[in-house]
């Protein structure tokens, strides 16, 4: 009987262990996401072998293009929705609508998330936004409002149109639903989500072995959140802004003023120069950029043509099919290394914001022509060229 008793105890102990293991396993192997929102973030960090080999540095790209909506903006859109839910402003299923003024990525992220979370997305964008982005927005069922390209001081500019749309909807006494202006440029949730997710992910993926971080600024959320996080971990991490032609941010970081020419603050970047770079570069200081400004060490100017050459080079050599802003960042890295600002053996990370898919009809139309480009022929201007 004593044997029987021990056997029972052993069997019981074994079943408890198995159950616990089973539970743990189920939890650990929880690979099934409960919705598309749960697939956002935790994007891969990939070593860019071609650039690393050629420069003697370890160069990594944070593949934000791997988010389900195709860009880092998924993080921001979800954070803005959750914050509004938490504050009791919006509720799913009653027609509440998120209004946003965006030239692309953020609108796509809202459009992807809104329907699945029980909301509507109303996207205001300039009429010269690329066809690929418009088609995506339509596929996700967003309400699209195209407005004439204009500067931010114009009341009909797309960001102002979105703000007005939300106000009109919320003030309508006959409406039971609420309109919310997402306001990615000024919304604090933007830089904070990069501070709490993108930055820590990179830091953990590199196990703290990061020396330089290079990225561009649209709203400024990515650079502000990541820079602030990195500096808090290691003061010596250096952060560089990679800025395209026509943007005043380069001068703002370099000289403390946006313009040293006849250009006016608030003017539209694409009016000043003929550029195909989308998503980054601005001629005003947004709240999100401001939140990171003191953590940015320096800036590097990158030309459209250099970015196109880099696009072709990375596609051929590393299988990285990148969008225009990602390539601006990659050129920024290469320039800083070539000019000795970043020394050999450094660990460098740049953001790969979105894939080339969204840039086929503009940026990639020309980038394709550089298919035989050599690394030494990518850079044609100096780091400090305006
Ligand atoms: N790249 C692309 C393609 C973008 O859409 C954006 C956002 N406008 C950025 C880069 C810049 O990111 P952020 O707004 O966080 O500065």
Does the CB atom of residue 216 touch ligand 1 within 6 A? yes
For residues 56 and 345, give the distance between their C-alpha atoms in angstroms, rounded to a whole number. 6
CA atoms within 13 A on the CB side of 287: 10
Q: Is the CB of 296 under 6 A from ligand 1?
A: no
Burial of 321 (0-12, 13-18, 19+ CB in 10 A): middle
Q: Looking at ligand 1, which residue's alpha carbon is closest to its atom 5?
A: 279
Tell me the sheet residues that pair with 123.
100, 144
| Closest among 312, 310, 323 to 133, alpha carbons compared | 323
Q: What is the pTM of this model?
A: 0.89
The predicted pLDDT at position 108 comes to 96
Q: What pLDDT is stored for residue 27 in this prediction?
A: 45
The CB density around residue 290, as the number of other CB atoms within 10 Å, is 13
* Residue 278: closest CA among 163, 125, 142: 125
Spans in the chain with pLDDT lower than 50: 1, 3, 11, 14-28, 260-263, 270-271, 385-386
Q: Which two tokens stand for residue 231?
A: 């500096």
CB of 64 sitting under 6 A from ligand 1? no
Give distance in angstroms: CA of 331 to centre of ligand 1. 16
Three-class SS state of 144: strand
**209, 188, 152: which is closest to 292 by C-alpha?**
188
Q: Whose CA is nearest to atom 8 of ligand 1?
A: 279
Q: State how far the Cα of 276 lies from the Cα of 105, in Å rounded to an integer.
A: 15
| Dist. CA 362 → ligand 1 center (Å) | 17
Query: Does residue 224 line the site of ligand 1, with CB under 6 A?
Result: no
- What is the DSSP code string of 46-79? EE-HHHHHHHTSEEEEEEGGGSTTSBTHHHHHHH
User: What ipTM does the predicted assembly reach?
Assistant: 0.99
Q: Looking at residue 354, what DSSP letter applies?
A: B
d(CA 42, CA 60): 15
């Amino acid at each position: 009987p004593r044997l029987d008793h021990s056997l029972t105890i052993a069997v019981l102990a074994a079943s408890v262990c198995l159950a616990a293991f089973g539970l743990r396993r189920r939890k650990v192997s929880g690979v099934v996401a409960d919705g598309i929102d749960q697939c956002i973030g935790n994007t891969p960090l990939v070593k860019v072998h071609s650039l690393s080999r050629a420069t003697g540095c370890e160069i990594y790209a944070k593949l934000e293009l791997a988010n389900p909506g195709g860009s880092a903006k998924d993080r921001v859109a979800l954070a803005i929705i959750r914050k509004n839910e938490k504050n009791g402003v919006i509720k799913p299923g009653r027609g509440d609508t998120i209004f946003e003024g965006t030239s692309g990525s953020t609108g796509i992220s809202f459009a992807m998330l809104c329907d699945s979370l029980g909301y509507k997305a109303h996207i205001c964008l300039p009429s010269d936004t690329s066809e690929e982005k418009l088609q995506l927005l339509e596929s996700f069922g967003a309400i699209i409002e195209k407005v004439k390209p204009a500067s931010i001081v114009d009341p009909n500019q797309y960001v102002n149109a979105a703000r007005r749309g939300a106000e009109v909807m919320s003030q309508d006494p006959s409406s039971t639903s609420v309109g919310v202006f997402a306001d990615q440029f000024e919304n604090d949730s933007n830089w904070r989500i990069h501070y709490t997710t993108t930055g820590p992910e990179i830091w953990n993926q590199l196990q703290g072995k990061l020396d330089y971080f290079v990225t561009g600024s649209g709203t400024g959320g990515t650079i502000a959140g990541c820079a602030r996080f990195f500096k808090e971990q290691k003061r010596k991490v250096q952060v560089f802004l990679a800025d395209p032609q026509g943007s005043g941010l380069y001068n703002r970081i370099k000289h403390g003023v946006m313009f040293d020419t006849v250009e006016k603050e608030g003017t539209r970047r694409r009016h000043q120069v003929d550029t195909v770079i989308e998503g980054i570069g601005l001629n005003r200081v947004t709240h999100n950029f401001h939140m990171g400004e003191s953590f940015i060490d320096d800036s590097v100017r990158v030309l459209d043509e250099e970015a196109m050459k880099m696009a072709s080079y990375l596609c051929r050599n590393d299988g990285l099919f990148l969008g225009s802003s990602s390539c601006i960042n990659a050129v920024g890295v290469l320039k800083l290394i070539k000019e000795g600002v970043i020394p050999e053996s450094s660990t460098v990370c740049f953001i790969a914001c979105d894939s080339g898919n969204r840039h086929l009809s503009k940026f990639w139309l020309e980038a394709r022509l550089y298919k035989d480009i050599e690394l030494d022929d990518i850079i044609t201007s100096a780091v400090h060229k305006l």
